[in-house]
Amino acid sequence: MELWFTENQTASLRISVKASKVLEHRQTGYQELSVLETEPWGTMLALDGMIQTTERDEAAYHEMMVHVPLSTHPRPRRVAVIGGGDGGAIREVLKHPSVEQAVLVEIDPAVVEASRRWLPSLSSGLDDPRVQVVAADGRAYVQQAGQGDVPPFDVIVVDSTDPVRAAVGLFSEEFYRDVRGALAPGGILTAQTESPYLNRELLRQAFRAAAQVFPLARLYLTCVPTYPSGLWSFTLGSLGPDPLDPAGRGPEGSCRYYTPELHRAAFALPAFVTELIRP
Ligand code: SAM
């Protein structure tokens, strides 16, 4: 019997992928977690029925989400990833030799456990001595960061799920204000802000919120075949450097997707996306 995984991307759009095996399927304390072996995309992680990452196309997401801000900052030393329990973003952060500490703030420790078990190519960096894994709500963590026990960060990357449950607040102006407060001078935020085709209002609101909070806000794009519509956006807010004129060094080690040329090209937006974020 054939096994197919279907994600209801919207009320009228679905994506299906043929799976050869269910590696794990359970209700965590927080959400429904599935790990499947798929034919086209390799091992795939889904949460609440939504595809989060797959072995074969994750580089287009993680590399662009991380290397654009970290190559823009002149010397990123402290970096936080909010969400991102699969470890893919942290793996990329560690490709920057200036990084002294990388903090992963994931609300659901079961995601980290599952990724350590089934997705070692993503989670490999989590045992690096520079990495601290914190099980917490990213909103609360960011609120108290930048002071006392948690010194400010040079870059904060928001690698969240779609805006459901605790992730809703990660797309708000209030959260971006807290991020700003948790950044060191010249710091940078990058947040995944969903599909320009299917999440137009959310993207518009998130970008406008970032533009209210940060002196410089820019939108850039990547292409992730297993995400709804394939075209995916990131919102970058900067207290200093402009990603169009990167001040830092690029990643060391191999990348499957990111190149300096693509870094610049990613900010060239289709007309309808420019229109979407027009003030
Ligand atoms: N790239 C993926 C996407 O766009 O579909 C996201 C991957 S990553 C697995 C998302 C993670 O964010 C999940 O593991 C989820 O548990 C975590 N998350 C959601 N809300 C959170 C919050 N408020 N604080 C920290 N982590 C959160």
ipTM of the complex: 0.98
Among residues 175, 156, 153, 155, which one has the least CA distance to residue 166? 175
Domains with residue ranges and CATH for the chain:
3-54 (2.30.140.10), 58-276 (3.40.50.150)
Among residues 49, 114, 107, which one has the least CA distance to residue 86? 114
Annotated active-site residue 159? The verdict is yes
Q: Residue 1 — pLDDT band, cuts 50, 70, 90?
A: confident
Ligand 1 neighbour 81 (Cβ under 6 A): no
* Residue 263: pLDDT over 90: yes
Contacts of 129 (CB under 8 A, 6+ apart): none
**Lowest-confidence region among 13-17, 30-34, 121-125, 162-166:** 162-166
Tell me the whole-structure pTM to 2 decimals: 0.98
Tell me which amino acid residue 65 is: M
Q: Residue 147 — pLDDT band, cuts 50, 70, 90?
A: confident
Tokens at residue 250, please?
């690029």
Ligand 1 neighbour 195 (Cβ under 6 A): no
* Residue 148: pLDDT over 90: no
CA of 94 to the centre of ligand 1 (A): 19
Ligand 1 neighbour 146 (Cβ under 6 A): no
- pLDDT for 272 equals 98
Q: What is the mean pLDDT of residues 188-217?
A: 98
CA of 42 to the centre of ligand 1 (A): 20
- pLDDT for 96 equals 98
Task: Check if the beta carbon of residue 175 is closer than 8 Å to that of residue 210.
Answer: no
Mean pLDDT score across all residues of the chain: 97
> CA gyration radius for the chain?
18
Tell me which amino acid residue 6 is: T
- Ligand 1 pocket test: which of 90, 106, 115, 142 has the largest number of ligand atoms within 8 Å of its C-beta? 106
Alpha-carbon span 96 to 194, nearest angstrom: 26
Q: What angle do CA 97, 138, 130 make, to 5 degrees?
A: 25
CA of 199 to the centre of ligand 1 (A): 17
* Residue 176: pLDDT over 90: yes
Q: Residue 9 — pLDDT band, cuts 50, 70, 90?
A: very high
- Ligand 1 pocket test: which of 160, 171, 193, 194 has the largest number of ligand atoms within 8 Å of its C-beta? 160
**Which residues sit in the known binding site for spermidine?**
62, 86, 159-162
